[in-house]
Amino acid sequence: MLIDSFLKYLEFEKNYSPQTIKSYKADLIQFEEYFKNLSEELSPTNVDTDIIRQWIINLMDEGYTASSVGRKLSSLRSFYRFLLIKKEVTIDPTRKIVGPKKKKALPYFLKESEINRIIDENDYKEGFIGARDRMIIEMFYATGIRLSELIGLNDTDIDFSQSLIKVTGKRNKQRLIPFDKELKESMIEYINIRNNTLTEQPEAFFVRESGQRLYSGIVEKLVKRQLSKVVTLKKRSPHVLRHTFATAMLNNKANLNAIKEILGHSSLAATEVYTHTTFEELKNNYNQAHPRA
């Protein structure tokens, strides 16, 4: 049997794990059951592209996700590559098949009223720790900075005269992020409290009480605690604040290319996801407000 030969090939020549082989076997048997129900005369060697397309449509109709269907199609492609090598077939019927597109998850973000409440509510600790924690949330929202970029900031990276922050992002690429008067005042206030608290002025902008640079775990814990105030929010990470920055910019008519540069995206496609986010918000508002929605 061709399927059995293929599975032995995976086991003994490709050294695939038993679990992987089990998955391939389940996918191929499922496909075989499908085309045998169409006609007993069909076999893997005479199945054509149309039948495979019908199988994919049938899987989607049965409720399989695009990811699951894509995995099953991948199993089928491997199987037919094996049959070509063994000269059991002369044409690969999967060669022109395009799998279903995976639906990209829209990024989680806070509404402007929600993020303003988190920043402005006076429930942060007193003194240096409270000032630092508030500054972290405000910095994320005002600049769209990444977590690694935030903890890597040094005092020398901030140019108050030009209102610019120099950020070192992915692959050590540097970019400049502008900031406004409000963030400038907040940063100066934080620096004064920090320097009056510590015995020595640190190199890092965000530090612990010991003067050492913050590490990611402290920031993640802080952000999670603050975002938990928004009970409808399913995800509570620093990246949510980055998404919130981008969405707020777009909602207030910022140019998409400008948002791309500030965020440090390598391509516009990565930034365009926020246009879908704002459109989803528009649809939600329509559905809630229009009497015939």
Residues with a catalytic annotation lie at 146, 170, 239, 242, 265, 274
User: Could you tell me the two tokens for 183?
Assistant: 């963030």
Give the SS3 label for residue 100. Answer: coil
Q: Please calculate the CA angle 231-237-241 and round it to the nearest 5 degrees.
A: 90
Q: Would you call 163 exposed, middle or buried from its count of C-beta atoms within 10 A (0-12, 13-18, 19+)? A: middle
Q: Please calculate the CA angle 272-249-280 and round it to the nearest 5 degrees.
A: 55
Residue 208 and residue 210: Cα distance in Å, rounded?
A: 5
Give the SS3 label for residue 257. Answer: helix
Q: Would you call 64 exposed, middle or buried from its count of C-beta atoms within 10 A (0-12, 13-18, 19+)? A: middle
Q: Cα dihedral sign for 215, 140, 148, 226? A: positive
